[in-house]
Amino acid sequence: MSYVLIKNGRIIDGSGNPWYKADIAIEDGVIRDIGQIDSTGDIEIDALGKYVCPGFIDMHSHPDLTLFYKKVQDYKLRQGVTTEVGGNCGFTAAPLNPSTQEALRKYMAFITPPSGVNWNWQTFDQYLQAVEDSQPSTNLVFLVGQGTVRIAAMGFEQRPPTKSEILYMEALVKEAMEAGAFGISTGLVYVPGAYSDTSEITRLAKVSAAYRGFYATHMRNEGDKLLDSVQEAIDIGVNGGLPVQISHHKATGKLNHGMVLDSLAMLVEARENGLDVTLDQYPYIAGSTTLQAVLPPWAQEGGVEDVVQRLETSDIRCNIRNEILANKGESRMGGDLGDILITTLATELNKRFIGLTIKEISELREQEYIDTILDLLKEEQCAVGMVVFSMAESDVRTVMSHPCTMIGSDGLYSPGNPHPRIYGTYPRVLGKYVRQEGLFSLEEAVRKMTSFPAQRLRLHSKGLLKPGNDADIVVFDAKTIIDKSTFRDPHQYPLGIEYVLVNGVISVDEGEFTGNTAGRVIRSTQLS
C-alpha cells in the first residue's frame, strides 16, 4: 500500500477540540504520524486552506440490500461517509427462515429493484460474509432487526409469541450477536414490530446486552404519543441492561411540533439516572419509508399478499379507508396525505408517477387522495416508497444542537426519486447549519459525525485522527461545502468534499469517485 501524505491541512481531530495545522502520514491503511512531516509521500494531497477530519460515521443507514445491486456507495463516499450502520428500524436481511423468507422479501420489495437480489444466505453470519464478498465501498456495521427475527419465528401474525417462538427469537438474536452484530434494532411503528409488546422486546434486548450490544429504536410513535414511546425506550434500556439509541428523533404532525423539548428533557433525566441513552437525527423536515406504513397495523397482518387481498375486499377496504381518514388528513407517519411524495414504483403502469405527490397523482387519476394511496399499494403489491413531510424546522434545529445528538442519514438509495438525505446529509449539516446559520461550531459538527458515533459503536480505531487509528479521512472546503440534492431532483452530489480515504485508500479524489472499494465489514466480535 502506498505512503500517503496529507499536507498543510487544518486538522479537526473529531474530539470537538479546535482545529490545528498539521500534516498527516498514512501507511498500510493506518495513520502513522500527525505533525510537521518533512518526508515525501508516494501520493501527496495539498490541503492548504482546507479542513481534514475523520471519515463520517453514518449512525443510521439502510445499505442492507442496496449494496448488492448498487455495488458502489458513491453517493455516501462523496458526502464524506466512510462507515455506515445497517440493520436499523427493526429490519435486516438476515436471519432467515425458509418458511417465512418470501414474506420478508415481499415486505422489503420497496427497497429492492425489479431485478431483485440473490438472497443466498440464511444465518446472520452468512449474510455478513456475503456483504464482505461484495467488496463494499464503505465500512459496514450491522444491527440485528427485531422485525426480521419475529418474521422468522412467526411471520406477520398479530399476537404474542408462544414460549417456543420467543425462545427461537432469543436464539436467533444470540446467533447474530455471536456472528458480530453490534446490537438489536426495532421499528415499532412498522409491522410486525408494532405487534410486539415491551416485555417481548426487553427479552430480546437482554440477549443483546449479554454481548455488550445496544438497543436502537425507531419508536412506536413519533406523534401524539411521542413521550410514551420515549419512556418505553428508556424502560427497555433500564430493564434490558443495555445502552439505548433513539433513532432519527423527531416530533411528527403539526400539533406535536415543539414536543421535542419535553422528549429531550426525558432523555437528560434518564442519563442523570444512569442510563446511557443517545440519539441520532437527519437534517431535514421530511422522512422516507414504505407507503404501506400509512395503513393501520391490523390491516398489515399476514404480509403483503393479505394486505392486497384486504384492499381488494370492498368492506375491509372501506374500514381501512375510514380509519386513515379519521386522522384528519394526516398519515400515521405525520404530514398531510396529499403532500406525500412517491419515491419508488415497480410497474410500468405507474412509473410515470415517481417524483410526484399524492395530490398531483390524484389529479391525474381523477381520484381522492386516499383512493390513490390504496390503489397504488394494491397495484404495486405494496412495493411503494414515499417521502412524508411531517416535521418543523425549529424542531430539527433544537434536536440537532443537543449535545447527545449524533448525525445519521437514514439513507435509503433508490434509482427512482429517493430522499435527498442519501446524497446530502453531512454536507448539509456543515454547509447550512454550521456555515450559514451558525447553529454550532465546525468542530462540534464533526464530533457529532465522527467520535461520538464511534464511541457508541466501540470503534476505538475510528472517529478520531490520531496515530495508530484507521485512515478514514475527509478533506473538505468549509467555504463551499453544501448539499445540492433536492426532493424533486435528488440525484445530485454535494459540493466541497474534495478527498475521502477509506482505510488509507483514496476513494474520492478532487470530488470524483476513483473506483476504489476499500470498505470492510466490521464485526463486534473483532473489538476489544
* pLDDT band per the 50, 70, 90 thresholds, residue 332: confident
Distance from C-alpha of 463 to C-alpha of 15, rounded to nearest angstrom: 8
The counts of H helices and E strands in the chain are: 17, 21
340 secondary structure, DSSP code: -
In this predicted structure, what is the pLDDT of residue 113? Answer: 64
In this predicted structure, what is the pLDDT of residue 72? Answer: 79
The CATH class of 1-54+412-482+490-514 is mainly beta
Average pLDDT for 27-38: 96
* pLDDT band per the 50, 70, 90 thresholds, residue 31: very high
Contact 142, 65 (CB under 8 A): no
In this predicted structure, what is the pLDDT of residue 179? Answer: 98
Distance from C-alpha of 107 to C-alpha of 190, rounded to nearest angstrom: 11
pTM of the predicted model over 0.75: yes
Q: In angstroms, what CA-CA distances link 474 with 1, 228, 405, 463, 503?
A: 19, 39, 21, 11, 12
Distance from C-alpha of 124 to C-alpha of 213, rounded to nearest angstrom: 15
Judged against a pLDDT cut of 90, whether residue 2 lies above it is answered with no
Judged against a pLDDT cut of 60, whether residue 114 lies above it is answered with no
CB-based contacts of 341: which residues, under 8 Å, 6+ apart?
286, 355, 356, 357, 386, 387, 388, 389, 417, 487
Distance from C-alpha of 524 to C-alpha of 183, rounded to nearest angstrom: 9
Judged against a pLDDT cut of 90, whether residue 470 lies above it is answered with yes
Contact 292, 300 (CB under 8 A): yes
CATH topology of domain 56-289+390-411: TIM Barrel (3.20.20)
Average pLDDT for 48-56: 98
Q: Cell 456543515, residue?
A: 430
Portions of the chain given CATH number 2.30.40.10: 1-54+412-482+490-514
Question: What is the side-by-side order of every strand in the sheet holding 139-142?
Answer: 56-58, 81-86, 139-142
Judged against a pLDDT cut of 80, whether residue 120 lies above it is answered with yes
Judged against a pLDDT cut of 80, whether residue 330 lies above it is answered with no
Distance from C-alpha of 360 to C-alpha of 56, rounded to nearest angstrom: 37
Phi-psi category of 512—alpha, beta or left, where left has phi over 0 and alpha has psi -120 to 50? beta
pLDDT, tens digit, 9 for 90 and up, residues 243-285: 999 999 999 999 999 999 999 999 999 999 999 999 999 999 9
* pLDDT band per the 50, 70, 90 thresholds, residue 115: low
Distance from C-alpha of 117 to C-alpha of 136, rounded to nearest angstrom: 15
pLDDT, tens digit, 9 for 90 and up, residues 487-512: 999 999 999 999 999 999 999 999 99
Portions of the chain given CATH number 3.20.20.140: 56-289+390-411
* pLDDT band per the 50, 70, 90 thresholds, residue 528: confident
Closest CA to 144 of 226, 219, 211, 194: 211
Q: Where are the beta strands (DSSP E) in 394-496?
A: 405-407, 473-476
Judged against a pLDDT cut of 80, whether residue 116 lies above it is answered with no
How far is CA 251 from its chain centroid? 17
Q: What is the three-class DSSP state of 214?
A: strand
pLDDT, tens digit, 9 for 90 and up, residues 336-363: 999 999 999 989 889 999 999 999 999 9
How far is CA 484 from its chain centroid? 20
pLDDT, tens digit, 9 for 90 and up, residues 205-234: 999 999 999 999 999 999 999 999 999 999
Closest CA to 60 of 411, 474, 325: 411
